[in-house]
Structure formats: structure tokens, C-alpha cells
Amino acid sequence: MSVKHSLERRVTGQIQSALPMGAAGAKLAPALDRLLGRVIADPKRSGSLFGLGEVFLVKAALYLTGVRLEPSAYEGVGTIHKEQVGVYQFDFNLGVDKQQPLPAELALPHGLHVPVNVNNAAPFSLSRKKGVLYLKVNGMRLFPVEYEPRPKFYSQKTSDGVEMWKLAQHRLGDELMVTYNTYCHTLKGGNQCRFCALNSNTPLDGLRNGCFIQTPRQIAEIAAAAYGEGVVKRLEITGGILPRRAEIDFILEAGKAIKSALGTTSIPNGHALLAAPNDLSQIDALKEAGWEYVFFNLEVWDAHFFRAYCPGKEALVGREHWLKALDYAAKVFGPGNVRCILIAGLEPLQSYLEGAEYLTAHNIFCDPAPWMPMPGSQLEGHSSPSAQWHIDLLVKTLDLWERSGLPLDTIAKDGWLAFNDLARMRLEVRQQNLPESDLRYKLSILGDLRV
């Protein structure tokens, strides 16, 4: 047995046992084994071995398995580095002991980002030495990383004395996220979306304005502080469906208040994420209130799956009306300014692609958000499809967008999801005329996980 093969075996099996094999981790683990085995064989070259494609694989594994925080990894979290708060719909760390603040997001080499999913059984770990935060696998150092810095507005209070970080959160590098409540009326009768954990969370500061966590005035003050600081270039508002669709009036009021506070005619890259309004005229009102684009997330395309996964949305809005609302919104907001998340992994690949093709043909941008079973959701403990399944879907979706004329640079600049990263890789492949042997080509063009 060669020395190199012997060293590779120190990693092989440990990554595979940590990833959810038979599900999302399948085929990703062997790819990481080969990559990390090379690092072990020649640790001095570890920095040069991690290009954009290689770091993407590590990011995928971190997303799936999580990371263990050594005591030194908590240094500066909540003071210098941003802490995790308020990600109510998809809180990886719902059951994690939060007696000390948890880091929110991890900045990886090549500008990639990943949320910090704490898992004390993960093969990956974080530790800080002489001020430098390192990512390690099974105790072996891979490369330096860092948490996102804590924005200044996190230390400010609203005019009525509430700490701003409790009411709205900075995320994805340049976005302010406002979750207006942690309750969805679909909970009544057990009809909440099966994959959603919104109803399992509790607001940090209690319910303040009836059903809402914050008031429109508070949101406007936070937006003015965050945009003014320069750390925010976009704003998202989201939450659950409320009785009598009260959330729509709230979003309208909040939009007008934010516009007034910023002194603008619209909210820069401001988007409202909500269930499709039953009254189509409210879509016009959303645009007039200052929102530049909207998300009406159908979640799954197939009509039967929609009824099964989203029984409350079917009962309160209905799939047929939802599609009418999406088409109407595309006329009001314009092509590319209406989005609809279809969660990748809840239905067969062909069904998903049928939905993506329909939405794209109707000038609606279809976000392929990968499904990870959230703690507190009804699907907790289930498994997402394999990593190969997901990358195959993402590559086919990129193919669809390119055929439709959607620019890759538009896709690549928005967020930390895998399709953004793969779009960026495609840009590099095109611009640098990279060969098929390059990992970026394999991942973003062929959808091949083999290193």
C-alpha cells in the first residue's frame, strides 16, 4: 500500500459516515475523500489545492453535515462577529444550546458563504489560533475562514428602545431580512407546509404589535440605519399567512414607511415574500408601496404534491389562483421581477423541471432552493435526495435559464445558494475557456461530482 493511499484512508470513511449517505451525501463523500486525501498527502500545498470548485465541495459538505465549534471558535461572536438570530423558517440550530451566541455565517475562500450549522458529531470543526479562524476536518487544518463581521446597526436601538438586531437581521453579505411573525394560520387544523419550521420558533422579543414582531416604523428605522451604514443593498420581508390575510396590509404599510425613511421612490432591491394575494389588486398595491419585486412561493410544482406538502396554501389560496397571481404579478412588476421558489428535493426531478420551464416561459424566476429537513418541521428526520441528484437539477436549471436568455451574471451575484455558485463557475468556464478536465467545468456544465 502506497504512503499516499494510506494517508487517504485516514479520511475515507469518516466523511462518508458523517454525511447522510443514501441521501444528500451520496457521491459527495467520495469526492471529498479524494480531495482531502490529496491535502493530507501534501499539506503544504493545501492552499493551492482549493480552487473555487474544491471549496464548493467543502461548502456543500458543511451545509449537509454542519460543523463542530471548539471553545476558541466562539471568540468575538456577538461583538466583533455577527451572531445567529431570527432565521425562523429554516433554523438549523433550533435544538442547539444557545447559552452563548452562535456564529451566523462563514466566509470561505473565493467569496463563498455558508450558514453555520452546529453539529458536535461533524467531521469538520472550527478553531481560532492567534486570531485566525481555521476550518479543520478530523483535526487536520484545511484553510483559514472567517465569520461575517457584526454590522454597526446591531448595536443600535429603535426610537422606542428595542435593540435592532432582535427585529431584523443582516444576512447573505448585503441583505436585511425582516421576519414579521413566527406564526402561520395554516397551523390551524394541522395544515402547515410539511417542510416549514416557522411555527416551532419563538420571537426574540415577543410579539409586539398584535400578531407582529415589529412595527412598520421600527422596520423603517432599522432599514435607514442598515442602508445608511452601507452594509445592506437589498431587503426582504417575510413571515406566515395570517387570518384575513392581515400580513398583506402590514407589508404595504412597512413598504411605505421604508420608502419614507430612505427618501426614495422605491426600496432598493426590496422584495416581499408572501403567499399569493387572493385579491389581485393587492399586487398593484405592493408595487406602489415600494417593493421592487415579489416572491410568491408555490414550493412544489406537481398539483398532487402541492396538496400533500402545502395543504394550507391549497385551502386558503389554491394552486390555480396562485398561478394566476404569478402571471398577473409578472405583468405588474415586469419580467424577472417575480420569483417563485420550488424546493428541490420534494418532488421528482422531471416534475420540478416542468415547473421551472413553465415559470421561466412566463417571465417568472424560479429559485431552486435545496430541501434540507428542518428541526421542528413535520419532515424532520427525513432525507433529501443525493448530492448528485441536486447538482443534476441545478445544472439542468442553469441550462434552462441560459436558453431563455437570462444572464449568468444576474444569477451569480445573488446570495449563497448553490445555483448562484454554479452560475459563477459557468461564467469562469466561459470567460477563461476552461477544459472539461477542470473541476469548475465538471460541476457547472456536466453536473459531475467526481474530482
From first to last of its 451 residues, the chain has per-residue pLDDT tens of 333 333 334 444 444 444 443 445 556 766 676 676 666 556 555 556 788 999 998 998 888 888 999 999 999 999 999 998 866 656 666 667 767 899 999 999 998 989 898 988 888 999 999 999 999 988 888 899 999 999 999 999 999 999 999 999 998 888 999 999 888 888 888 899 998 887 776 776 666 667 789 999 999 999 999 999 999 999 999 999 999 999 999 999 999 999 999 999 999 999 999 999 999 999 999 999 999 999 999 999 999 999 999 999 999 999 999 999 999 999 999 988 999 999 999 999 999 999 999 999 999 999 898 888 877 888 888 888 888 898 999 999 999 999 998 888 878 776 678 899 999 999 999 999 999 999 999 999 999 887 6
Q: How far is CA 374 from the centre of its chain?
A: 13
Rounded Cα gap, residues 360 and 396, in angstroms: 13
Rounded Cα gap, residues 344 and 393, in angstroms: 8
pLDDT of the residue at 336: 85
Rounded Cα gap, residues 68 and 65, in angstroms: 10
Q: Which of 417, 373, 412 is nearest to 393 (CA)?
A: 417
Q: How many CA atoms are closer than 13 Å to the CA of 298, on its beta-carbon side? A: 33
Residue 442: all three cell numbers together: 465538471
**What 3-state class would DSSP assign to 137?**
strand
Instruction: Assess contact for 98 and 43: CB atoms under 8 A.
Output: no
pLDDT of the residue at 15: 42
Residue 298: all three cell numbers together: 408555490
Rounded Cα gap, residues 240 and 190, in angstroms: 14
Cα first-last separation, the chain: 22
Q: Which of 259, 260, 204, 267 is nearest to 235 (CA)?
A: 267
Instruction: Assess contact for 431 and 58: CB atoms under 8 A.
Output: no
pLDDT of the residue at 5: 38
Instruction: Assess contact for 351 and 308: CB atoms under 8 A.
Output: no
Rounded Cα gap, residues 87 and 166, in angstroms: 11
Structural domains present in the chain: 3-147 (no CATH), 152-361+369-384 (3.20.20.70), 386-451 (no CATH)
Q: Which of 312, 368, 275 is nearest to 193 (CA)?
A: 312
Rounded Cα gap, residues 346 and 371, in angstroms: 7
Residue 235: all three cell numbers together: 431587503
**Alpha-helix residue ranges (DSSP H) falling in 291-377:** 303-309, 311-316, 319-333, 349-361
pLDDT of the residue at 45: 57
Instruction: Assess contact for 39 and 163: CB atoms under 8 A.
Output: no
pLDDT of the residue at 369: 87
